[in-house]
Amino acid sequence: MTILVAGGTGLAGSAIVRELERVNKKVIGISSKDVDLLDRAKTFSFIKDLKPNLIIDAAAKVGGVGSNNAYPVEFLSQNLQIQSNLMDAAHEAKVEKFVFLGSSCIYPRNCAQPIKEDYLLTGELEQTNSAYAVAKIAGIELIKSYRKEYGHAWISVMPTNLYGPNDNFDLENSHVLPALIRKFVEAKRNYSPEVVLWGSGTPLREFLHVDDLAKAILICVEKYDDSQQINIGSGDEISIKDLGQKIANLTGFTGKVVWDANRPDGTPRKVLDSTKINKLGWKRAITLDQGIASTVKWYQENK
């Protein structure tokens, strides 16, 4: 069995590749250096030649609140192209299984918490990342459509906020947790008296280490076969302010933390209901403290 992981050098993809290798599966991880998934003809040719039995689509244009808000055209257009090219190519090559990775931002901005899969399309999206969310919702619908029209055993999984090794630590377009790690590590290294963080610090989030996600993906491949997306979350909820303090403590930063209220907060609260994946026998193994500590260590050693 040949497994292709698209986006195999990114945060989620690299963790999935590591887990597949750990359990002795034949896996091929690709990035844009191997094949440009925005190029439809090249994508079709690559998938046809490789003939994988399973494709795990972790390829996407991703970023934090700032970059999502600033570049909606790129986030909508590029993600639509990547996922449709890959799914259409998989269909033509008769790929048996396909796993599409979405994002928890697909859910309405102000829906009930914790967020159940049924809450999709029941309210307005968070405007700072609505373009990215719409692209991911389209991906879910394309998976459903292929299942309905052709009977494919393809599924969509919706992970919560991810972090871990191989994350993007760029301050202009990264997600909140890696951005905080970089800011506090550099502040400690440079003896800075203060660190300025975005927003009010009041939004509530949950975070999941990518190694836990990778294990959940493998369980879904074996045990889940439904048209509805399945949530994958840690269940651990924390405010951004408390997260900042936790990372400050773990990096040894003892200066002042200043919150820039002129920067956007994003969705006020976002925690997933992960009952479905828990019933399949999965639950997060890496605590937030353990995960942040190991990610800080990875960042210091690799960046």
* Residues that are catalytic: 132
Contact assessment for residue 104 and residue 161, using Cβ atoms and an 8 Å cutoff: yes
Report the C-alpha gap between 94 and 52 in whole angstroms: 9
Q: Tokens 């719409």, residue?
A: 134
CA torsion sign for 213, 216, 218, 220 is negative
Specify the 3-state DSSP secondary structure of 140. Answer: helix
Give 212-241 as a 3 state SS string: HHHHHHHHHHHHCCCCCCEEECCCCEEEHH
Report the C-alpha gap between 156 and 167 in whole angstroms: 22
Report the C-alpha gap between 288 and 267 in whole angstroms: 21
Q: Characterise 246 by phi-psi region: left (phi > 0), alpha (psi -120 to 50), beta (else).
A: alpha
Greatest distance between any 2 Cα atoms in the chain: 60
Taking the CB of residue 76, how many other CB atoms lie within 10 A of it? 18
User: Residue 160 corresponds to which tokens in the numbers above?
Assistant: 């919560």
Residues in a beta bridge with 97? 54, 153
Closest CA to 286 of 187, 191, 216: 216
End-to-end distance of the chain based on CA atoms, in angstroms? 35
CA torsion sign for 117, 158, 219, 91 is positive
